[in-house]
Structure 1
Amino acid sequence: MSSRTFRITVRGSFDGLTDEQRAELLAAAPEHDVLRAAFTAEGHLTYDLAARPFFTFRFLDSGEAEEDVLDATARAELAAESWLTERGYGFKQLKSTAEDLSQAPLGKRQRREAAKGEGRS
């Protein structure tokens, strides 16, 4: 079996932040800007608290079988909850989506490269 790569997105909204927590998040906002968004094993947080209370964590995980995406999603949700809870940030409405990259359609460049590879055989 080959390894599968999963991209998991956990979304939610901050809830009941104190003025101090809000100021702390606003001060750290540049490192959590959506333009820096990346899928990472430890999870990458993005938000724009000045505009709206929503946040997104992006996680990268892997597994051997298609069913492993369920465990990867559960790990991502737990990691997001832990990160928020450890810092005392209230949150609500966590929702997750996951993508198995082995099932993702090929882009134009990938299709072209695959066709070249088949022509060499």
Structure 2
Amino acid sequence: MSSRTFRITVRGSFDGLTAGQRAELLAAAPEHDMLRAAFTPEGHLTYDIAARPFFTFRFLDGGEAEEDILEATARAELAAESWLSERGYGFKGLKSQAQDLSLAPLAKRQRQAAARGGA
């Protein structure tokens, strides 16, 4: 059986932040900038708290079967909730979206390379 790679995005918004928590997030904002966004096993957080209260976690996970994406999504949601809760950050409206990269359509150059035998 082949291994599958899943990209999971968990989105939500900060809720009820204190002035101190907001200051913490603002101070750490450069390391959570959208330009640094990446899918990682431990999850990568991005936000722009100065402009809006929304955040996005990006997780990279895997499994052997297509249905493993459900467990990977649950792990990502739990990891996002844990990260926020451990720091005392209120949040609401968590929504997840997952993609199985083995089912993603190939880009034009990828299709051409596959047609040439993977060159």
Is the structural similarity TM-score above 0.5?
Answer: yes
Counterpart residue number, 1:83: 83
Once the 2 structures are TM-superposed, how far is the Cα of residue 6 of structure 1 from its aligned partner?
0.1
In structure 2, the residue matched to 1:93 is 93
SS at match of 1:77: helix
**CA RMSD in angstroms, aligned pairs only:** 1.1
- The one-letter code of the counterpart of 1:14 is F
Deviation, 1:108, is 1.1
Give the TM-score taking structure 1 as reference length.
0.97
Aligned amino acid, residue 27 of structure 1: A
Structure 1 unpaired stretches of 5+: none
Q: Distance in 2 between matches of 1:46 and 1:36?
A: 8
Consecutive unaligned residues in structure 2, runs of 5 or more: none
Query: Among the aligned pairs, what percent are the same residue?
Result: 84
TM-score by length of 2: 0.98
Match of residue 66 from structure 1: 66
How many equivalent residue pairs? 119
Name 2:43's counterpart in structure 1.
43
**Deviation of the 1:102 alpha carbon:** 0.2
Q: Runs of at least 4 residues of structure 1 off by over 4 A?
A: none
- Secondary structure of the 1:117 match is coil
